[in-house]
Chain A
Amino acid sequence: MNGEAPPRPLDYLTAQGTHALEVLPLTWGVLIISLLVTAIISVLVVSGILLRRVPSGGPIPPVARTGSGMRWIYIGVGLSTIVLFGTAVWTMRVLAAVISPPAEPAFTVTVDGRQWWWRIRYHETRDTPEFITANEIRIPVGVPVRIRLTSTDVIHSFWVPALSGKTDLIPGRINETWIEATAPGVYRGQCMEYCGWQHARMGFVVVAMEGAAFDAWRASQVLPASEPQNAAIAEGKRIVMTHCCACHTIRGTEAGGSAGPDLTHVASRLTIAAGTFVTDRTTLEYWIRHPQRAKPGNRMVDPDLDLEATRLPAAYILKLR
């Protein structure tokens, strides 16, 4: 479903979402104006120097008031003012167009920032109860989704450049934004407000899917975790229940902690540790054995498990799809 990874996942000179597409021409517009202004001024400065310079080595010429030069200011400032006012008007128009979604959003997702991951709550809709997940938001293509933003600790910022600009997650406050993808795909998101040690590794993904696939995904997320199918997995589950349940919730088991991401369907997510690693056996084993090496300073302590003992919980977790 995710196809080729884009060469620059956070590039915002291209766009795949209604919000971002609306802003993109303005971005290019002011960028081109800026490049032109820089080019013009550079040419003026360099050519002025070359044309007017005193031959090197010559004596310092006397001062003279040659020409008032005021016309430079009148013309230069006049033109600049026109361009600036034009840009201001264009800015206001784009702002008005994107400040609220083009249609009533299909549903609401609350994103709660934590040092250094994202807790994600899908609000209940007419046909689905609410559920909680982490670090990955799935949305249907072609409909706006309302995103409510808040934080449990410090300020973070929610940004999926291909879909929309950023909005801060501020503790004690709820901000709102919206996203709408125009094409299916995996869109990279990133925390953009400095939030401490692992600000660098506080990413997430937005997966845009066709409507039917999205509905199927949502139906599967509501279910409790799958039961172990064999003895090894059951042993893995036992270890997880003893070592991990203080911090993680796995619905349908006794694990009900809330300091870390909900793991009920963690294996169905494309990445772990807030967009840091692709979800597979190797990364999961590494993560479970040495979370502090994998993401120094993060709030999951290194569990006291040897190499063999990390294989089993990893195997269990991989079944949590």
Chain B
Amino acid sequence: MSVIEIKNLHKIYNESEVKVHAVNGINLSFEQGEFAAIVGPSGSGKTTLLNMIGGLDSPTEGQIIVGGTEINKLKAGKLIDFRMRNIGFVFQAYNLIPVLTAKENVEFIMHLQGVSKQDREKRTKELLIAVGLGDRINSRPSKLSGGQQQRVAVARALASKPKFVLADEPTANLDSKSTENLLDIMEKLNKEENITFIFSTHDARVVKKAHRVITVEDGKVISDERK
């Protein structure tokens, strides 16, 4: 069974005078353990698609089924809870809480989930070591580089043991070395722990690393290749 099932998805923005058909009839499914990139020109609808998969935005039409739950039918409160338990997020920026240390940022969601202190600390340590920040556990985000911050964000996204991780242009603000480093870490986690990653990108080097590349244009999938 697929982790994510997307059926006939549409999103129309009509707040302004011109209607924007940002997602225009997308059908997709993702299996456990995929490492998929969504690519396409600016304005093609990548962010809109990811936001709907993550339950941050609601579709105008269509269905998104995550592990058997149709998330577009969930009530707002339930949806927040569902997100917290099933989906990990990495954003382009503003991922971390500036007043918390790396360790506390990773612990934060587990804390909301009510994980015991002991388990929390163990997992946080493992994750920060896995992303290569075992020695920066007590640093605040402002004391970390952009690449290090994004690695903390990846660790944070994984902390809640989600079904999959969504990342919208996670490397957009990073230099090429940090980009490669982050991708390597994501790939390693994907391989070793079979974690599903879905990320959007403009970056050809990132695309190269992906095992599946989905190209969108004008809100439609124009190609879907597996390597």
Q: Do A and B come from one complex?
A: no
Hey, which bits of chain A sit against chain B, CB under 8 A?
none
